[in-house]
C-alpha cells in the first residue's frame, strides 16, 4: 500500500471538493515514487456533477451572463494560474516527468494563453447578418444568435495535461456552457489545481465540475453515457474515440474528437539540411515522442538520404535523457511503465520485421532510482517496407522510421497511404513545391520548414482515424455554441 502521507486528490462538484471511498495511486514515471492518492468517481458522483452543471445553466446566473462578463471570469482564471505558476509547473512535472523548462515555457504558459485568447475572442466575435427581399417585396433580415450547448463532457489526455485540458475548458466556458471534466487518470494533479483556481476566481458552483477516474466502468464511461450531457469533446487514442462515439450515438450528442496520428515528415533534397535535421529531431523526440503531432514516419529524398540518417542518428544519440530537474535535460520518461512496455514491444517488433536500428532501441541505465522509471532511448529505424506494422501503427514514443523516396508523386502516395491524417511536415526551399505538396497531404495540418508552431485562432484537427471536427479560434466557439437563425420580415 502507498504511504498515508501522500496527498489526496478529490473531485470538485457543485463548488465543493468531495472525496469518494475508492482510490487509485498516481505514480511518478521518473522513479516510481508515489505522487498522490486519487479519488475515483462512482456513478453517483458523476450524476451529482452533471445535475449541478444543469442547475448552473437553468437556475443559476451563468446561463444569463454576457460574453463580456464571461470573459472577465476567464481572465481571472488566467490570473489565478499565473499567480500559482510554480505550483502548476511542479504538478505537471510530478505527473509526467517532463523537463521543468518545457513545463514552464510550453504547458503552463499555454494554459494561461488558452483562457486569455478565448476570453477575448468570445467577447469580440460578432454575429452574422443577412438582408434580402421576400417575394412580396418586403425587407427580410436574418441574423444568427449563439447560445450555450448545455452541459459539456470533457475528457482530456495525459501527454500535455494542462495545455489540452484548458484548450477545451476555456472555450466551453467562454460560450456560456457548464462543464463536467475528466482528466487522464495518469495526470490528475494540474486539473485539481485548476479546480482550486476556479473556486478562488469566483466561478459559480456547478459551472465547472471535475471528476477523477478511469474509462470503462468508471468516470469516463459514466460521463459519456450520461443522458444529460449535451456534447462530448475528447482528445486521445482513436480506439477510445470510437468507443465514445458509440456511447454518444444513443443520445445523438455533439462530439469533437482529436485522435491519434502516424504523421509524416518529408525532406526534399533542396531543404536547408541543418534546419531539417534539427526540425525532424524535434518533431520525433519532443516530450519523448508523446505528442499526437510527432513525426513517426520520415521520408527523405534519395540523394540526401544517407547523410540525413547519419546526422539524425547523431542528434538522437546526443539527447540528454534524465530526470526533469537535471541540468540541460532534453528528454524525460514515458508516462508510465505500462506505456513503456507498449513502446518496447514495438522496438522488438521492428527488429522482427527487418528494421535496421540506427539509433537507440533500448532502455537507458542510470544505476539508481531512475531505473524504476519509464525511460527509453530515442530510436531511429531504417529498412522497413511501408506495409510494416511499425510504419503503419501509432507507437507514441520517441521513435521514427526513415525511408528514401524518389519524386513528389512517390512520396505523396506513401504519405497518404495511412489510416491516420492529423499532421505533416514539408522541408524544402522551393516555395512553389511547398505549396503544391502541402495541398496534396490528406491531413488537417501541414507545417512547412517548421513544426509545432501554432496560431491559436486557426483550425486544428485531423481526418480519417485522426479525428472529427476542428478546434481553435472561432472553430472552437462554433462547436461549443448552439446557433439559432432568427428571420424577421419587416
| Residues noted as catalytic | 258, 292
Alpha carbon distances (Å) from 232 to 169, 292, 340, 395: 12, 20, 29, 26
Supply the DSSP symbol for 455: -
Torsional sign, CA 433, 434, 435, 439: positive
Comparing C-alpha atoms, which of 47, 57, 16, 104 is closest to residue 223? 47
Q: How many CB atoms sit inside 10 A of residue 3's CB?
A: 8
Q: Which helix (H) or strand (E) holds 259?
A: none
DSSP 120-132: HHHHH----EEEE
Question: CB-side exposure of 308: number of CA atoms within 13 Å?
Answer: 32
Taking phi first (over 0 means left), then psi (-120 to 50 degrees means alpha), and beta for anything else, what does residue 473 get? left
C-alpha grid cell, residue 90: 511542479
Supply the DSSP symbol for 472: S
For residues 5 and 316, what is the distance between their CA atoms, to the nearest angstrom?
Answer: 40
For residues 89 and 265, what is the distance between their CA atoms, to the nearest angstrom?
Answer: 31
Alpha carbon distances (Å) from 290 to 244, 322, 396: 22, 16, 5
Which residues, 6 or more positions from 320, have their beta carbon under 8 angstroms from its beta carbon?
326, 328, 329, 330, 331
For residues 47 and 54, what is the distance between their CA atoms, to the nearest angstrom?
Answer: 11
**Helix, strand or coil, per DSSP, at residue 133:** strand
Comparing C-alpha atoms, which of 151, 166, 145, 130 is closest to residue 66? 145
For residues 184 and 212, what is the distance between their CA atoms, to the nearest angstrom?
Answer: 8
Geometric angle at alpha carbon 182, from 96 and 106, rounded to 5°: 40
C-alpha grid cell, residue 343: 513502446
Comparing C-alpha atoms, which of 55, 91, 56, 301 is closest to residue 186? 91
Comparing C-alpha atoms, which of 319, 321, 329, 306 is closest to residue 364? 321
Amino acid at each position: 500500500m502507498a504511504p498515508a502521507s501522500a496527498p489526496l486528490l478529490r473531485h470538485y462538484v457543485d463548488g465543493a471538493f468531495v472525496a469518494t471511498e475508492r482510490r487509485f495511486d498516481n505514480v511518478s514515471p521518473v522513479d516510481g515514487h508515489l505522487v498522490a492518492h486519487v479519488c475515483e468517481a462512482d456513478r453517483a458522483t458523476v450524476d451529482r456533477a452533471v445535475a449541478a452543471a444543469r442547475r448552473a445553466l437553468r437556475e443559476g446566473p451563468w446561463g444569463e451572463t454576457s460574453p463580456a462578463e464571461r470573459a472577465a471570469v476567464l481572465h481571472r482564471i488566467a490570473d489565478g494560474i499565473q499567480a500559482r505558476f510554480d505550483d502548476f509547473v511542479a504538478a505537471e512535472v510530478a505527473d509526467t516527468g517532463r523537463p521543468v523548462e518545457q513545463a514552464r515555457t510550453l504547458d503552463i504558459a499555454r494554459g494561461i494563453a488558452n483562457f486569455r485568447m478565448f476570453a477575448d475572442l468570445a467577447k469580440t466575435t460578432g454575429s452574422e447578418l443577412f438582408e434580402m427581399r421576400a417575394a412580396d417585396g418586403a425587407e427580410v433580415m436574418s441574423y444568427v444568435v449563439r447560445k450555450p450547448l448545455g452541459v459539456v463532457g470533457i475528457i482530456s489526455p495525459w501527454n500535455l495535461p494542462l495545455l489540452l485540458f484548458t484548450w477545451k475548458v476555456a472555450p466551453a466556458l467562454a460560450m456560456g456552457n457548464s462543464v463536467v471534466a475528466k482528466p487522464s487518470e495518469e495526470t490528475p494533479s494540474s486539473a485539481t489545481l485548476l479546480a482550486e483556481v476556479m473556486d478562488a476566481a469566483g466561478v459559480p458552483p456547478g459551472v465547472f465540475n471535475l471528476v477523477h477516474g478511469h474509462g470503462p466502468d468508471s468516470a469516463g464511461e459514466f460521463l459519456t453515457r450520461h443522458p444529460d450531457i449535451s456534447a462530448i469533446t475528447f482528445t486521445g487514442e482513436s480506439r477510445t474515440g470510437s468507443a465514445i462515439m458509440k456511447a454518444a450515438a444513443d443520445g445523438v450528442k455533439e462530439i469533437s474528437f482529436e485522435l491519434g496520428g502516424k504523421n509524416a515528415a518529408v525532406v526534399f533534397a533542396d531543404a536547408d539540411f541543418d534546419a531539417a535535421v534539427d526540425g525532424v529531431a524535434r518533431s520525433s523526440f519532443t516530450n519523448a515522442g508523446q505528442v499526437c503531432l510527432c513525426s513517426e514516419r520520415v521520408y527523405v529524398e534519395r540523394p540526401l538520404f544517407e547523410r540525413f540518417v547519419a546526422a539524425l542518428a547523431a542528434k538522437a544519440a546526443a539527447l540528454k535523457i534524465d530526470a526533469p530537474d537535471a541540468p540541460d535535460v532534453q528528454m524525460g520518461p514515458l508516462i508510465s511503465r505500462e506505456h513503456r512496455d507498449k513502446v518496447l514491444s514495438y522496438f522488438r517488433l521492428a527488429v522482427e520485421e527487418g528494421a535496421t536500428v540506427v539509433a537507440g532501441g533500448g532502455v537507458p541505465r542510470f544505476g539508481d532510482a531512475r531505473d524504476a522509471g519509464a525511460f527509453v532511448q530515442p530510436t531511429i529505424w531504417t529498412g522497413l517496407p511501408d506495409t510494416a506494422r511499425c510504419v503503419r501503427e501509432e507507437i507514441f514514443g520517441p521513435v521514427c522510421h526513415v525511408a528514401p523516396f524518389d519524386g513528389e508523386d512517390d512520396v505523396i502516395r506513401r504519405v497518404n497511404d495511412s489510416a491516420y491524417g492529423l499532421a505533416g511536415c514539408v522541408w524544402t526551399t522551393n516555395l512553389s513545391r511547398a505549396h503544391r505538396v502541402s495541398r496534396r497531404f490528406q491531413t488537417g495540418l501541414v507545417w512547412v520548414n517548421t513544426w509545432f508552431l501554432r496560431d491559436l485562432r486557426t483550425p486544428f484537427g485531423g481526418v480519417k482515424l485522426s479525428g472529427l471536427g476542428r478546434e481553435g479560434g472561432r472553430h472552437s466557439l462554433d462547436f461549443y455554441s448552439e446557433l439559432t437563425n432568427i428571420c424577421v420580415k419587416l
